Amino acid sequence: MYSNCVSYPPVPITATPCLLDLVPTRICAGFPSPAEDLGAERIDLSKVLITHPQATFLQRVSGHSMKDAGIFDNDILVIDRAIKPRHKMIVVAVVDGEFTVKQLFQRAGRVKLQAANPTYPDIVPKEGQTIEIWGVVTSCIKQFPSA
């Protein structure tokens, strides 16, 4: 079933707009689209990943506290500072002057940062302290060894 799905090597991504070849084949499921061969403009990954270019920054992940959310050590986070942080969103927060990626818990007047790994404790602000959210994580990019 997958015989005509060619595998392409991963393409390194730069911080600038990045052009990828529009691959004319798709994973075979359902009927082929008659418009499939009409693709003209290359897919621009940054167009898909970045909604607010002025507010978007990249950070590299170090650590394992978010593994159950699919965020692993050495991944790259796409962070959009224009998005208002809400309950359950994955955010980068500033804790003790350092960036940390966690899931935001915001319910019934309580705010805390939750890890997505049972072995890591929640980060709860002390009395009178507020959690400073730096930005909302919208994507996570993984790069595999390709050379």
Partner 1 sequence: MYALVDGNNFYVSCERVFRPSLNGLPVVVLSNNDGCAIARSNEAKALGIAMGAPWFQIKHLAEDAGLVALSANFALYGDMSDRMMSLAAGLGPAQEIYSIDESFIDLSGVKGDLVERSHKIRARILQWVGIPCGIGIGPTKTLAKLANHIAKTAERKPGVYPDKLSQVCNLAALDQAERDAVYAATAAGEVWGVGRQISKQLQAGGIHTVLDLMKLDPATVRSKWNVVLERTVRELQGTPCIDLDHSPAAKKEIACTRSFGRPITEQHHIAEAVTEFASRAAEKVRKQHSQAGQVLVFIRTSPFRKDAQYSRSMVTPLRHPSADTTCIVKAALQGLNHIFKQGFNYAKAGVMLLDLQPDTNQQAELDLEDGDSEEDRTKLMTAMDTLNQRFGKGTVLTASAGLDGMRREWSMKQLRRTPAYTTRWDDMPVARA
Active site residues: 65, 102
Q: Give the number of other Cβ atoms within 10 Å of residue 44's Cβ.
A: 13
CB neighbours of 20 closer than 8 A, spacing ≥ 6? 11, 42, 43, 44, 45
Options 50, 78, 100, 104; binder of partner 1; rule CB under 8 A:
100
User: Distance (Å, rounded) from C-alpha 30 to C-alpha 27?
Assistant: 10
Nearest Cα neighbor of 74 from 4, 2, 140 is 140
Distances (CA, A) of 7 to 3, 27, 140: 10, 11, 22
Asked if residue 82 binds partner 1 (CB under 8 A), the reply is yes
Q: How far is the CB of 28 from partner 1 (least distance, A)?
A: 34
In degrees and rounded to multiples of 5, residue 107 shows phi and psi of: -145, 145
Tell me which stretch binds partner 1 (CB under 8 A): 20-28, 29-37, 39-47, 54-62.
54-62
Options 30, 34, 97, 128; binder of partner 1; rule CB under 8 A:
97
Site for partner 1 in 101-130 (CB under 8 A): 101-102, 115
* 101-90-142 Cα angle (round to 5): 70
Tell me which stretch binds partner 1 (CB under 8 A): 2-10, 38-46, 68-76, 105-113.
68-76
Asked if residue 58 binds partner 1 (CB under 8 A), the reply is yes
In degrees and rounded to multiples of 5, residue 40 shows phi and psi of: -115, -50
Q: How far is the CB of 14 from partner 1 (least distance, A)?
A: 7
Asked if residue 60 binds partner 1 (CB under 8 A), the reply is yes
Q: How far is the CB of 8 from partner 1 (least distance, A)?
A: 21
Residues within the interface to partner 1 (CB under 8 A)? 14-15, 52-55, 57-66, 71, 73, 76-77, 81-82, 92, 94, 96-102, 115, 132, 134
